[in-house]
Homo-oligomer: A and B are copies of this chain.
């Protein structure tokens, strides 16, 4: 796990990218997918994830459908059309930020 200060500000971008890539997903699924892709380096915490999902929904970037799996509720999130644009924006913003940081820190980042 990273000293996750760095994660601040990137969480929503990560979440939306997952939805962009995999279509509708539920919260727990997102945490597991991100954990898997990052080889356990990024573990989204519930206390951060759920409020973020709710905020994105309130902002109009996500919609939800509730499903019952047995007796257990599962809440699926998907990107709205606005959300589809937003995630592209977010990713570009992140890429630009990294470019600037590479310049400042004088580093080359390797492919992961």
A interface, CB within 8 angstroms of B: 2-3, 5-10, 13-14, 17, 21, 34, 37-38, 41-42, 91, 93-107, 109-112
| Residues A93 and B3 in contact in the complex (CB < 8 Å), given A17-B104, A41-B100, A99-B111 | yes
Contact of A9 among B9, B17, B111 (CB under 8 A): B9
Residue of B nearest to A34 (CB): B104
| Residues A109 and B102 in contact in the complex (CB < 8 Å), given A7-B9, A9-B5 | yes
Contact of A95 among B8, B91, B100, B107 (CB under 8 A): B107
- Which residues of the other chain, B, contact A38 by a CB distance below 8 angstroms? 100, 103-104
CA–CA, A110 and B97, complex, Å? 11
Cβ–Cβ contact A10 & B91, under 8 A: no
- Which residues of the other chain, B, contact A14 by a CB distance below 8 angstroms? 101, 104-105
Cβ–Cβ contact A102 & B93, under 8 A: no
Cβ–Cβ contact A10 & B110, under 8 A: no
- Which residues of the other chain, B, contact A97 by a CB distance below 8 angstroms? 2, 6-7
